[in-house]
Amino acid sequence: MKCIIYVSLLLIFALQIHCYPKDPEDHSFQDGDGHEISHEVPSITNYQKIAPNNADFATRLYKEIITNSTAENVFLSPLSISTAFALLCLGAKAETHSQIYKGLTFNLTEIKEMEIQNGFRQVIEVLNRPGNKAKVNIGNALFINESLKVLPKFLDDVKTLYAAEGFSVNFKNSTIAKDKINNYVQNKTHGKIDNALDDLDENAVMVILNYIFFQGYWKNPFHAYMTKEEDFFVNGSTTVKVNMMFQEAYFQVLRDEDLSCWVVKMPYKGKASAWFILPDEGKMNDVEKQLQKEILTKWMTSVRNRKIKLFLPKLSIHTSYDLIPLMNKLGVKDVFGPNADLSGITGGGNLWVSQATHKAALDVHETGTEAAGVAVIVTLPGSYFMPSPPPPIIRYDHPFLMFITDDQSTAMTFLGKIGNPKSKI
């Protein structure tokens, strides 16, 4: 009988901060067919190479979620999910190995596996680099049953490439094991996620998890005294009261007439930004259908500095996803059943992933974001004065999208839809 690997992908809201990592050391690991890969010292280009794939995976996964869910709010970290599955690839072989990479949108004939793995390693180093103005913690951990014999090569790879911590536990005492894992996640996410595991199968032999925590502050904070209760129009028949923040300021803005939506870039202190996409009423489905990495690139390269009157609701939401059916839709199937080949973990063919979950929490308020994510003045001679047109009013009082990017690399780390700010799920 196959043993169980329980993969738990746990996150809060994280933000990617761009800075160059320390000079990376040379690393080697085995590919899906067991061949040793050694390579020269990688550069930051490995990180840049995987950024388009992460954006592609993000939009594909988002579309699967909205297609198969009636939830009003969507919030996830594609980076957290792809990092955990890329880590799992270190122990995958044959078709299992190929399916995971394809599901993450990587074509191994176009990009080398060592470039992918070192790209994820560099992301972890970048996000965790000391001195970031935003508080960011990202990490991985393995909780391994006391009786499970894991190959030293796999343990060395996950430690070297993913800085993963390892813990020995007794899953037969599932209550104690679950409490140990939940306490670990609660500590790493500063209390934002206090019940990562609702239950834990006593037959499990390993839990793999990724966590992300972020606390950031707006470069242009809202003033609390300007926040007023206003209506948010969930749909044509449902209206809820929200605390609507307001400020009149200069932001990077785009009016996309092709997709009938506003795009507003809001920078955090540090080199990272939140992007808020407001489709015209009735246009959300049209925008979602066109959501892909090319559209994201268009928005990020087309925004221009502009004064606006911005209304944005305060948010506090939590989400939870079963990743197995979602990854199945993306072609990742064998790893979740008896055809799984995870022999790179133990050397045998007795492992498969029984469960994969993803949890997230998001808080947006006047000073910034928590979870666990310019003025131009032209003067003319006094004898000739033409008043400038009033700034446009951009009011996020109906469903909108949001995502987070690193300013220099443009890598997307988070993606979501706010359909009802008062709904906690």
Q: Please give the pLDDT value at position 30.
A: 52
> Which residues, listed in sequence order, are joined to residue 215 by a DSSP beta bridge?
135, 370
Helix axes 113-128, 152-162, angle to 10 degrees: 50
Q: Please give the pLDDT value at position 10.
A: 39
Q: Which residues contact 1 (CB under 8 A, 6 or more apart)?
A: 350
Q: Please give the pLDDT value at position 3.
A: 42
Residue 248 to residues 82, 130, 286, 331, Cα–Cα distance (Å): 38, 33, 29, 46
CA–CA distance, 349 with 262 (Å, rounded to integer): 51
Q: What CATH code would you report for 218-313+368-418?
A: 2.30.39.10
Report pTM.
0.85
Q: Cβ–Cβ contacts within 10 Å for residue 285, how many?
A: 10
CA angle 408, 410, 414 (to 5 degrees): 125
Q: Please give the pLDDT value at position 158.
A: 95
What is the full per-residue pLDDT of the chain (425 aa) written as tens digits? 344 444 434 333 322 222 223 333 334 455 555 545 444 434 446 788 898 999 999 999 999 999 988 899 999 888 889 999 999 999 999 999 999 999 999 999 999 999 999 999 988 888 787 776 766 678 899 999 898 899 999 999 999 999 999 999 998 898 999 999 989 988 988 888 778 888 888 888 888 888 888 777 898 999 999 999 999 999 989 999 999 999 999 999 999 999 999 999 998 887 778 999 999 999 999 999 999 999 998 999 999 999 999 999 998 888 888 899 999 999 999 999 889 999 999 998 788 888 888 888 888 888 866 444 211 111 122 334 445 678 999 999 999 999 987 665 566 778 899 999 988 66
Q: What CATH code would you report for 3-216+317-363?
A: 3.30.497.10
Q: 117-139 burial string, b = 16+ CB within 10 Å, else e?
A: bbbbbbbbbbbeeeebebbbbbb
Q: Taking a C-beta distance cutoff of 8 angstroms, is the pair 136, 213 a contact?
A: yes
Q: Please give the pLDDT value at position 32.
A: 52
Burial of 8 (0-12, 13-18, 19+ CB in 10 A): buried
Q: Taking a C-beta distance cutoff of 8 angstroms, is the pair 246, 222 a contact?
A: yes
Q: Please give the pLDDT value at position 72.
A: 93
Listed by start position, the domains of the chain span 3-216+317-363, 218-313+368-418
Burial of 389 (0-12, 13-18, 19+ CB in 10 A): exposed
Tell me whether the CATH fold assigned to 3-216+317-363 matches the one assigned to 218-313+368-418: no
Q: Please give the pLDDT value at position 14.
A: 28
H-type alpha helices, 166-211 = 174-188
Q: 47-64 burial string, b = 16+ CB within 10 Å, else e?
A: bebbbbbbbbbbbbbbeb
Q: Please give the pLDDT value at position 92.
A: 95
> Shortest CA distance to 331 belongs to which of 61, 120, 67, 90?
61
Query: What is the H or E stretch that residue 59 is in?
Result: helix 45-67
Q: Please give the pLDDT value at position 408.
A: 59
CA angle 402, 46, 266 (to 5 degrees): 25
Q: Please give the pLDDT value at position 18.
A: 25
Across 218-367, the runs of DSSP E, i.e. the strands, are 228-233, 239-256, 261-267, 272-279, 304-313, 315-322, 351-364
Q: Taking a C-beta distance cutoff of 8 angstroms, is the pair 411, 51 a contact?
A: yes
